[in-house]
Structure 1
Amino acid sequence: MNERRNVRSRNLTNGSMALSTRNSALPKRRELPDKHPQKVKKNKPKHIKYADLKYAPSIDFFSFMGLMAAAVILVLACVGYVKVYNEIKQTEIETRNLNTELNSIKIANDNIENTLYSNIDLENIRKTAIEKYGMVYPYENQVILYKGVTNGYVRQYGALKGNEDIGIIERILRLVNAR
């Protein structure tokens, strides 16, 4: 059976009965116009070597000078920034050193003040004031209490109430009562 198929296929391709597309009964193929015409690919320009050109791209003198002036200004601004930054850092370091010195001086001052107050003999001062200078404690009517202002100061424009002149008899009586 394989032989018959081979023969048949041979006959179709090689004999008088061979089909030809040119002489076929099939209708001829019509060629339709392309809806999208093929785009012609343009070759990308290759890297241009300046040596091959008649005139190489260049910059004129004034543009070059403007570019150089801008570069100089930029460099000067950067240098100025660095100088100011260094000055600020130096000032911060000096401030820290001065604050450290201030704190150590405050501590030393507090220590000296504590030493002075601890060395004061209040009993000796009271005894000297009474014996040597004749000072006495005030009487009850001589002490006037008032509410003080929390901040600021107080001015006295006149005699305080209760400090009027007293007579000689009253003074003698007070001295006798004080002893």
Structure 2
Amino acid sequence: MAGRRVENQRRQKYGTSSYVSGNTARKLAAAPQRRYEEYDIPKEVEITEEDRIAIRKKRKAIHRANRLNFLYTVGVSAIIITIFAICLQYLNVQSQVKTNSTAVTKLQSELNELTNSNDELELEINAGIDYEQIYNTAVNELGMVYPERDQVITYDAGVSEYVKQYHDIP
């Protein structure tokens, strides 16, 4: 009796008897179809036009909700991709700023070295000038003299930083 009960349970579970002709593989029952009560219309019951309209509205609402879920997913994905792209650009700009700041620092130190070198060379040049010897050479060897008061002509240069001479000054 217990053996029959096990056999019956096995038949209910697998849908076949325990004996399989020509094959030892068991045939499992296929998964039952899902039933959506809101879509299924009982065959025995007469439906009115109002019920059909209500069912159509439910179907449209579900379809609309699924479409909105898809649009929401696409929108969120687009926003995430945009934020990711902006972050990548920000990191790229930060990298360029750091690179440029190190280059600027290097160039500033080079400029300071060149400025110091130029100042030292200018001091050496100015220290090497003997103004007394220039005066003696100009006066004694070349015969130069200081101008008289009536020989000096002054002029106003104006805004320009240089003067163009078109004729000899009298």
Q: TM-score, normalised by structure 1?
A: 0.46
Q: Which entry has the higher C-alpha Rg, 1 or 2?
A: 1
Q: Which has the higher contact order (CA 8 A, sep 6+)?
A: 1
